[in-house]
Amino acid sequence: MTKTKTLQDDLTRHLTDSVEGLHKQAERVEFWASAVTGFAQPVPAYEPDKTAIARYMHPGRPPRKKLHRRPNKRRKVGDVTPASA
């Protein structure tokens, strides 16, 4: 009787593992099917007026140039005060 019980437990465990593996494979298939469907769609037309950066630009004008900070004058080694002072 104990051999029958362990045999049933082994079969139940193998069947459960197989079903779990099948669920994982089905999830992978669904993921890749949705990815392929997404890539099959045509790329939408580019509309520069509707982009996120369009609100920072005036129509017909080029974007402003970024102003660069002037570098600080380099101090001499003797001019530096220690942090403990």
- Beta strand extents in the chain (DSSP E only): none
| Tokens encoding 61 | 């004008």
Q: What is the pLDDT of residues 9-56, one digit of tens each?
A: 999 999 999 999 999 999 999 999 988 887 888 877 877 777 777 767
Global model pTM greater than 0.95 = no
How open is the CA angle 19-20-25, to the nearest 5 degrees?
95
